[in-house]
Amino acid sequence: MKVLADTNLFIKFCRRLELPKSAETTLADVRTERFLSPVSIIELFRLWQRGEVPDNPDSWLDLALPSWTILPITVPIARQSVLFDWKHKDRADRLLAATAQVEDVELWHTDTVLKKLRGFPSRYFSTTSRKTKSRR
C-alpha cells in the first residue's frame, strides 16, 4: 500500500502518539510505502514555532525521515494545486491533494475541510475520539 501522510499523521506516527488503530497498523507495516510532502516539513516547523508541537523537530526529524520517501513538488503538482475547483484556498492542503492525485497515492489525513473535497485519492481519520498519549 502507498500512503501520503498529512502533517498531523506524520507527527503522531513519528512521535509515537496515539493514532486510529488502522492508520497505526498500516503505517507500521514494512510493506507500506510511506510518502511525505515537503509541505509537511514546513507545517511541522510552523506548528513547533507556535508551540503546538512540543519537541524541536531538529531533535528527531533526521532520524524519522529515512523511512519516508519525500515526493517533490513538481510542475504538474504545482499546476494541479491551482486548478482544483474549490473555494478552499489553503496552499498546503491544495499541494497535498495535488501530490496525491498526480502521484496516484492515497492521502491519509485528519483535515475536516479536505474530507469534504473531491478530485484526489484520500482517506480521512478522526483523531478527536481518543486522547493523545504514547502508543508504545
Determine the pLDDT at residue 128.
Answer: 64
120 vs 54, residue with greater confidence: 120
**What is the residue range of 25's domain?**
2-124
Closest to 98 (Cα-Cα) out of 19, 20, 22, 38: 38
Whether pTM > 0.85 for this model: the answer is yes
CA separation, residue 84 to residues 75, 96, 98 (Å): 15, 12, 8
Whether the pLDDT of residue 6 is over 70: the answer is yes
Cα-only R_g, the chain:
14
Determine the pLDDT at residue 14.
Answer: 95
Residue 26 to residue 135: CA distance in whole angstroms: 14
Residue 101 to residue 109: CA distance in whole angstroms: 14
Looking at the domain assignment, is residue 17 inside a domain? yes
Q: How many domains does the chain have?
A: 1
Looking at the domain assignment, is residue 133 inside a domain? no
Whether the pLDDT of residue 22 is over 60: the answer is yes
CA separation, residue 124 to residues 86, 103, 115 (Å): 18, 18, 6
Looking at the domain assignment, is residue 102 inside a domain? yes
Whether the pLDDT of residue 134 is over 70: the answer is no
- Which CATH number does the domain housing residue 49 bear? 3.40.50.1010
Determine the pLDDT at residue 103.
Answer: 98
Interval 85-107: pLDDT, tens: 988 888 999 999 999 999 999 99
Looking at the domain assignment, is residue 135 inside a domain? no
